[in-house]
Chain A
Amino acid sequence: MMRTLLPSLLLWGLGMPVWAHGVELGFSTTPAIEVQARYDTGQPMAKAQVTVFAPGDPGVAWLTGQTDGEGRFWFRPDPAQLGAWQVRVRQGGHGGMLTIPVTTPAEDVMGDEPEAPDLKIPASPPASLSPWLRLGMAASWVWGLVGTALFFARKTHAPS
């Protein structure tokens, strides 16, 4: 069963400023992404489990939540983390993954058929070796080389 997840760009917080006694309120507009999740029958995935993954760390959920009754979910990506944001939506044993390219903070990612995302899978971290592993490797090298040399040396000088 296929699901369709449609991202669109919204403006949050539109409205008029309000003043009250001793309080100063204001507003600003912030780009946000709306995800629309539905089954291929057209039925919205209402109250479905949503997990958002940021481009820099695909193994850790950046945000979790739930779709509304219409299968919609909104989030505001961290503008400092450009790249492919991924949104996983699951419900009752069915699930899908949506990739949303965010290349500049103000980029419009509207559209029913988003272009293939320019996902930059984070480069694997350099193989950082622990001090104990480094020590073990060095000892193994020395031990192995010396031991092998001694072995052949003994063979060479052994009485026949």
Chain B
Amino acid sequence: MFVFWGSILIFGLMAPVWAATGQLHIEANGEDFIRQGFVSKDGWALEFSQVKLHFTQVSALQTDPPFNPDQGGSPTIKQRVDLPGGVVDLKGAEPVLLGTVTGAPPGFYNALSWQLTPTPELGGASLLLVGTATKGNVRLPFQIKVDQGYRVLCGEYIGEERRGILQPGGTARLEATFHFDHLFGDGEQDANDSLNQEALGFAPLAALAEGGRLEVTYSQVHKQLSPADAEKLSQALQGLAHTGEGHCRVEVLE
């Protein structure tokens, strides 16, 4: 009985607080490239069984002036809410919920930051890609571990809808989006498209396969690739992170 009356009292006390704040859902999305697979710029059909990322220090920010990652300078943060992060599989859903901030102050969350850090849970990787690549009669199972960390700072979510505007008592969504066509290229685009020009593709990785399998880490691959391809891989991995179509500033964690 005490619990019942106490709950009623707590509701009465908290209702104004709940009504004055909101819920902010932060999601991760690998887009159809991951969920459905795609053909790389060099003709490898890629299908993924796992694409796992280890997020840490996830923060949604209200910045004023609006943070533009394509320009220099640091964001001027007026409000900030945090999530601890964790491991998510981009193959899992459309998109995957990274977490929900309850009691978030209302306003326009026009920037999003996170870190990707290596974790024992992913065998020392911050990003784990598992799947199968097929080209002609060649079928190549692969496991790629990116054993490097990244600090990501994005501006506003850019997409069909405007996101991050949180009204009192309302909900809003933000999204960490990963464009894997920037890494492997897109066979449906013109070979001269700048995306394909800048992407590594899959062929340089396939050339490193042993015994009909490709099991590599970023550190290993970076030493084995040609200097030009190693640079492409490095840049492409830093170009994966977006928020919708919006850009991010990415730094490698030492």
Residues of chain A whose beta carbon lies under 8 Å from any beta carbon of chain B = 1-2, 39-41, 53, 58-59, 84, 86, 88, 90, 93-97, 99, 116-122, 124-129, 133, 136-141, 143-145, 147-148, 150-151
Contacts and interface: CB of A to CB of B under 8 A. Distances in A.
Given A97-B66, A99-B68, A136 B108 contact: no
Top-6 shortest CB links A-B: A144-B9, A140-B12, A147-B5, A95-B245, A127-B20, A95-B158
A148 B68 contact: no
Given A90-B158, A97-B156, 19 more contacts: A2-B70, A86-B66, A95-B159, A95-B245, A96-B70, A97-B66, A119-B66, A120-B64, A124-B107, A125-B168, A127-B19, A136-B15, A140-B12, A141-B13, A144-B9, A144-B12, A147-B9, A148-B5, A150-B5
B194 to A, nearest CB: 5
B72 to A, nearest CB: 10
Interface residues of B, number: 43
Interface in B26-77: 62, 64-66, 68, 70, 73
A84 to B, nearest CB: 7
A146 B6 CA distance: 11
Interface in B70-113: 70, 73, 78, 105-108, 110
B15 A148 contact: no
Contact of A133 (B15, B66, B70): B15
Contacts of B11: 140, 144
B247 A144 contact: no
A131 to B, nearest CB: 13
B165 interface: yes
B197 to A, nearest CB: 9
B245 A94 contact: yes
7 contacts: A59-B162, A59-B165, A95-B158, A95-B159, A121-B108, A133-B15, A147-B9
Contacts of A150: 5
Contacts, number: 114
B228 to A, nearest CB: 19
Interface of B: 1-2, 4-6, 8-13, 15-16, 19-20, 62, 64-66, 68, 70, 73, 78, 105-108, 110, 155-156, 158-159, 162, 165, 167-169, 194-195, 244-247
A140 B8 CA distance: 5
Contacts of A2: 70, 247
